[in-house]
Structure 1
Amino acid sequence: MTQAIIFVVFPLCLAVAAFSDFLTMLIPNRVSAILLASFVVVAPLAGLSPAEIATHFAAGLVVFAVCFTLFALNVMGGGDAKLLTASAVWFGLTHSLVEYLVYVSFFGGLLTMAILSLRASSDLILATGLPVPDHLLKAKKVPYGIAIGIGAFAAYPSSPLMLAALGQ
């Protein structure tokens, strides 16, 4: 049961968040809430000690502080900040958190360049009739939940809970 939660809940939540952000430019709050609640349930079952669990929540607090600042400066959306915070808890204060954040930054840069390129060609895209969500062509923001999701998928195999589920 514990392995099923580890293998399914985290990736499913990040996939839902990425698709939701792509389609609507919104990440449902329940996705972040499910990530946090499922971590609370699965961490002790996976064998993490109370001290290790505390370091995972410390990772969330550090990421939240940075994300809150970026949100206050209108650089990051609230859904992105909540999703990044909730997912950071799954990585803890380990090298995998740094790996995750590097992946998110890298894929976020690629996503931003792709969106800007798409917007620069919006007249051509609209003329061809391609089914591209309108907000991708006209909004000023970038659906960063996509980069968060891709970064999470790339870094998740080295996360402490995944390693615990695999017996490593």
Structure 2
Amino acid sequence: MAQAIIFVVFPLCLAVAACSDFLTMLIPNRVSAILLASFFIVAPLAGLGLMEIATHLAAGAIVFSVCFALFAFNVMGGGDAKLLTASAVWFGLTFSLFEFLVYVSFLGGVLTLAILSVRAHTNTILASGLPVPDSLVMAKKIPYGIAIGVGAFIAYPSSPLMLAALGN
């Protein structure tokens, strides 16, 4: 049961968040809520002790603090901050969290450059008939949930919960 949750819930929630952010520029609150709730279910089942669970929550608190400041300065959206926080809880205070955050930062930069390029060539793209979501072309925001999702997919195999599920 714990393995199924570890293998399915985290990746599925991130895929839903990334797709939703791409199409609508919104990340549903329920995605972050499901990530947090499922962590509390799976952590004890995966063999994490209270201290390990506490370090995972500390990781979430640290990431939330930084994200809250970025949100307050209108640098990051609220959905992105909640998704990043909920994802950080799954990684805990481990090197995999650092990997995750580096991947998200790098991919976020690449994504931003790509979207700015698309927006600079909006007329050409629309004239060619390529299907592009209106939110991607018209909005002033960047769907950072994509970078969060892809960064998490890359870093997740080295996370403590995935290693526990794999029996390492």
Fold similarity call, TM over 0.5: yes
Map of 2:146 onto structure 1: 146
Matched to 1:131, the amino acid is P
* Secondary structure in structure 1 of the residue aligned to 2:54: helix
Matched to 1:132, the amino acid is V
Aligned mates of 2:118, 2:97 — CA distance in 1: 31
Q: Return structure 1 stretches of 4+ with deviation > 4 angstroms.
A: none
Map of 2:34 onto structure 1: 34
Map of 1:81 onto structure 2: 81
Q: Which runs of 5+ in 1 are unaligned?
A: none
Matched to 1:91, the amino acid is F
Matched, 1:62 2:71: no
Q: Which runs of 5+ in 2 are unaligned?
A: none
Matched to 1:95, the amino acid is F
Q: Cα offset for 1:88?
A: 0.2
Question: Residues 31-68 of structure 1, C-alpha deviation per residue, up to 9 Å, x if partnerless?
Answer: 00000000000000000000000000000000000000
Q: Cα offset for 1:4?
A: 0.3
Matched, 1:49 2:49: yes
Matched to 2:11, the amino acid is P
Aligned mates of 2:153, 2:36 — CA distance in 1: 17
Percent identical residues: 81
TM-score by length of 2: 0.99
Map of 2:158 onto structure 1: 158
Aligned mates of 1:31, 1:66 — CA distance in 2: 20
Aligned mates of 2:134, 2:2 — CA distance in 1: 41
What's the Cα RMSD here? Answer: 0.5
Number of equivalent positions: 168
Q: Cα offset for 1:134?
A: 1.0
Matched to 2:140, the amino acid is K
Aligned mates of 1:25, 1:135 — CA distance in 2: 6
- Report 1:112-151 matches (<5 A): 112-151=112-151
